[in-house]
Amino acid sequence: MAENRMEKIVALCKRRGFIFQSSEIYGGLNGAWDYGPLGAELKRNLKDAWWKAMTQWRDDILGLDGSILMNRAVWKASGHEATFSDPMIDCKTCQGRFRADQVASTPCPQKPSKMVTACGGELTEARQFNLMFKTYVGPVEDDRNLTYLRPETAQAMFVQFKNVLEVSRKKLPFGIAQIGKAFRNEINPRNFTFRSREFEQMEVEFFVRPSEGKAWLEKWLTDRIAWYESIGLPRKKIQVYDVPAKDRAFYSQGTYDLLYEFPFGAEELEGIAYRTDYDLKQHQAASGKPLEYFDEETREKFIPHVVEPSAGVDRTVLALICEAYTEEGVTDEKGNQETRVVLRFHPRIAPVKAGIFPLLKNKPDLVEKARALAADLRKHFPVFYDEAGAIGRRYRRQDEVGTPFGITVDFETLEGAKEGPLAGRKDTVTLRHRDSMQQERLAISDLLPRLTAALG
Ligand code: GAP
């Protein structure tokens, strides 16, 4: 069932232009994905919602847009060069390479019905494989010019801590927020976009007094769950995993993973880690530049502690699509039973906010009015104008991509409403609600305030 559901979601993503395989015409590139027209809008809406909640709506977090390429010294000091690795196992029989901790759930490339542990292939001992992509800065490809594509956005926020502090004149507690690409040469990318080699992160480094670290970890846990709820992921589908000390980074004094119940199992969307003063301390020691904070009240100098909520953009997009995907039995205009596929996105993150339809395409007055309405609303949010096919089909096409509202210009728009509170009034339309399929009559002049309020 779950596999089937996931297959349908992947097919819908391609069919309707949410997500395509990267370099598809050349056979693709494993672990890389392109977002199509609707996927790009969805992703932007998600990132905007996060950015607003983290920066615009609070005055204790500031934004940063750091570079992807950084001095190699950053990755030495952070510990990534020495330890950012996964255990890897080779199969001597098929030459496949697998993550050692996932072999029991990875199908054999030659006998896909069996897992790598059960296919009979001869496996090597596990060895560590560093996940950072190497690259060279400048024309000479030697060790002096080596660096890496960043495997997380976090480090730019640590190394710019002092600059941001100075320009903003903030006092503790305060944070730095960043959204951006990260790259990891995952041994086995899997579950569609869930584990990719190129992906985006939304991270906050929140700097606090050492005595307040634990309390802030708890506060961030509550805030982050509430944020996922605000974009349409219900609380009951989010699991909180309190990572035991033995599985945490050695410097962490507490880490919560937020897992979403995907069709392929409950998997991590975000990690919220209390990283203590590890990162700033490492960079201070390696760079020789002071990264301390001077507390004017107590006259103390110390390295702040950090709580880091770190979320994946692509994983959240996938969770939103999985959550929204619904199939339901409905009866069409002719009384036939059919399956309606609906993406029940929260209006705030839906890629297109309203579909705009003239009832008939061969009636110039209807078309002109509908086009004018689309041009007007387009200034405020993305709309989709569609005049092709039966109106029921047009509604279904928008249901399938999660458009929350359908607006139809019909003869009553031109001649006056036939009944109801707007009877006799011209310039009214039908407003159809995606989830309930209920329709109501509304004055065109009331559309914008009504929709804007619903879009939050
Ligand atoms: N700065 C901390 C950090 O990077 P992480 O748990 O390794 O922590 C944070 O990554 C988030 O980034 C994850 O919770 C996940 O949402 C996302 N992420 C990590 N690896 C990913 C991958 N290979 N593909 C897609 N998203 C990934």
pLDDT, tens digit, for every residue of 250-286?
999 999 999 999 999 999 999 999 999 999 999 999 9
**Is any ligand 1 atom within 6 A of the Cβ of residue 200?**
no
Tell me the Ramachandran region of residue 288: left when phi exceeds 0, alpha when psi lies from -120 to 50, beta otherwise: left
Architecture of the structural domain at 352-455? 3-Layer(aba) Sandwich (3.40)
Average pLDDT over residues 313-330: 97
What's the pLDDT tens digit per position in 279-308? 999 999 999 999 999 999 999 999 999 999
Instruction: Examine the pLDDT at 4 and tell me if it is beyond 80.
Output: yes
Report the CATH superfamily, name and number, of domain 2-73+134-321: Bira Bifunctional Protein; Domain 2 (3.30.930.10)
Domains 2-73+134-321 and 352-455 alike in fold = no
**Is any ligand 1 atom within 6 A of the Cβ of residue 270?**
yes
Q: Is 40 helix (H, G, I), strand (E, B) or coil?
A: helix
pLDDT at 131: 95
Q: How confident is the model at residue 456 (pLDDT cuts 50, 70, 90)?
A: confident
CB 15 within 8 A of CB 32: no
Please name the residues in contact with 407: beta carbons below 8 A apart, sequence gap of 6 or more: 354, 355, 356, 357, 373, 429, 430, 431, 432, 447
Dig out the tokens for 121 from the structure: 């292939």
What's the pLDDT tens digit per position in 7-47? 999 999 999 999 999 999 999 999 999 999 999 999 999 99
State the Cα–Cα distance between residues 130 and 187, nearest whole angstrom: 10
Distance 377 CA to ligand 1 centre (A): 37
Q: Is 111 helix (H, G, I), strand (E, B) or coil?
A: coil
Q: How confident is the model at residue 381 (pLDDT cuts 50, 70, 90)?
A: very high
Distance of CA 23 to the CA centre of its chain: 21
Residues in the chain: 456
Cis peptide before 173 (omega within 30 of 0): yes
CB 79 within 8 A of CB 126: no
For residue 410, give the nearest of 453, 456, 367 by alpha carbon: 367
Which residue bears the tokens 């009331």? Answer: 446
pLDDT at 117: 87
One-letter amino acid for residue 156 of the chain: A
Question: What is the separation, in whole angstroms, between the first and last Cα of the chain?
Answer: 34
Residue percentage of the chain with pLDDT more than 70: 100
Instruction: Look at 100-114, 126-140, 197-211 and tell me which has the smallest mean pLDDT.
Output: 100-114
Distance 234 CA to ligand 1 centre (A): 21
Between strands 405-409 and 97-99, the pairing is unpaired
Using alpha carbons, list the distances in angstroms from residue 10 to 3, 230, 239, 359. 11, 25, 24, 32
State the Cα–Cα distance between residues 214 and 231, nearest whole angstrom: 27
pLDDT at 112: 87
Q: How confident is the model at residue 356 (pLDDT cuts 50, 70, 90)?
A: very high
Average pLDDT over residues 432-448: 97
Q: How confident is the model at residue 331 (pLDDT cuts 50, 70, 90)?
A: confident
**Model-level pTM?**
0.95
State the Cα–Cα distance between residues 95 and 93, nearest whole angstrom: 6
Mutation test residue for ligand 1: of 310, 317, 318, the one with most atoms within 8 Å of CB: 310
**Is any ligand 1 atom within 6 A of the Cβ of residue 201?**
yes
Instruction: Examine the pLDDT at 334 and tell me if it is beyond 90.
Output: no
Hey, where are the domains in the chain? 2-73+134-321, 85-130, 352-455
Average pLDDT over residues 338-344: 96
Mean pLDDT of the chain: 96
Distance 184 CA to ligand 1 centre (A): 9
CB 116 within 8 A of CB 97: no
